[in-house]
Structure 1
Amino acid sequence: MAAYSTYTDVELTSLLKVGDQAAFNEIHKRYYALLYNHAFKRLPYREEVKDILQELFAFLWNNRASLILTSGLAAYLYSSVRNRVINVFTKQKVRTAYAASLQDYLVAGENVTDWRLREKELAALIEREITALPPQMRRVFELSRNEHLSHNEIATLLNTSPLTVRKQVQNALKILRSKLGANLFLTFF
């Protein structure tokens, strides 16, 4: 039996590719503690670091035949550990964002889709009632509420008095209030 501890990384990698279990054991023995310390500096959770290393060595063994190392075994192992640590942080970030959005949803306590549907239906109902107003009253009301014009501006635009405009808006509001209900009306106007 050869003393695998004297083999170089290149020799161990070659033996690993052909399925030499002892070469794999030597790689594991040679790098496990170093990789553990490397990962633990970035991710101070022992169990997660152990999981990362177990996944790495399992991947190394399972993919040994197709393994291509362009910069050497040590560089490959360190890069793999670094990438797996980054993946852990990325997954934690996604979990945190998901938990926060779920918490926001629970705090809101309402079904947003249902609320939007009701809002659209209500807007359509209000629009129908506004359309049913007498033409001059509707024009004055729309200029006041949709165009945000003052009574004086509307009076100038329609060549009428500001008092007439004011009365038209009051009458429109009275009609809408009676048709839509006082509570609903106060919510939107």
Structure 2
Amino acid sequence: MRVYCSYSDSELAFLLTQGDELAFTEIYNRFYGLLFIHANKRLNDDEEAKDVLHQLFESLWVKRLQVAPDGNLSAYLYTAVRNRVLDVFAHQKVESKYIDSLQDYIDQDHVSTDYMVREKQMALLIEQEIDALPPKMREIFILSRKENKSHKEIALELGLSELTVKTQVKNALRILKSRLGVVIYVVFLLKTYR
């Protein structure tokens, strides 16, 4: 009966390539503790380090034919752990970027939704103030600003002088400016002249 704990690393590596499960078990027992410390030192996470080693030993058994039987088994395993730790960091970085971009999207969507709500509120406020104008003034103002008719066209349509139309529009704008405040008034003007 073979005593695997007395075998050198290269002898165990050779037996591993032959599919010897006991050699694999000896390699696992011999290196697990040191490799765990090595992985955990970099990852700072016991569970993550255990996952890395679980994947490493699983891969070692599956790819046992690729292990160089006369190579340095210890160096092979440490390199494999280092590569897997780097994979974990790369995955975390991608995950973090994804979460950041998702958060940016949510934030922008929130800002855009907030803006749309405010814009609707502002439009409603403007409409209410236009509706509160005296009836004739309101009619002239709507024809001028919403239907984009000239003072001359409005005068002809309503049977008024151009000067009356001009004065009514001017008075409507003055009233709206005082009721809405300068900022909302300017926004209103920008929207009507787009």
Say whether the fold is shared (TM-score over 0.5).
yes
Identify unmatched segments of 5+ residues in structure 1. 113-180
Question: Is the 1:69–1:76 contact (alpha carbons within 8 Å) kept by the matching residues of 2?
Answer: no
Identify unmatched segments of 5+ residues in structure 2. 113-187
What are the residue-to-residue correspondences of 1:1-189 with 2, within 5 Å?
Answer: 1-68=1-68, 71-109=71-109, 182-184=189-191
What per-residue deviation string (whole Å, max 9, x for no partner) do you get for residues 80-120 of structure 1? Answer: 1011111111111111111011101101117x9xxxxxxxx
Counterpart-to-counterpart distance in 1, 2:93 and 2:54: 23
Counterpart-to-counterpart distance in 1, 2:95 and 2:191: 40
The CA RMSD over aligned residues, in Å, is 2.3
Question: Is the 2:11–2:69 contact (alpha carbons within 8 Å) kept by the matching residues of 1?
Answer: no
Runs of 4+ with deviation above 3 angstroms:
68-71
Deviation of the 1:5 alpha carbon: 0.6
Higher relative contact order (CA 8 A, sep 6+): 2
What per-residue deviation string (whole Å, max 9, x for no partner) do you get for residues 31-72 of structure 1? Answer: 000000011111111111101000000000011123236851
- The equivalent of 1:168 in structure 2 is none
**What TM-score, normalized by structure 1, do the two folds share?**
0.58
Counterpart-to-counterpart distance in 1, 2:2 and 2:31: 19
Larger Rg: 2
- The equivalent of 1:134 in structure 2 is none
Alignment CA distance shift 1:77-1:29 (3 Å): same
Alignment CA distance shift 1:48-1:69 (3 Å): farther
Counterpart-to-counterpart distance in 2, 1:184 and 1:26: 78
Deviation of the 1:22 alpha carbon: 0.5
- The equivalent of 1:137 in structure 2 is none
Question: Is the 2:13–2:70 contact (alpha carbons within 8 Å) kept by the matching residues of 1?
Answer: no
Q: Aligned pair count?
A: 119
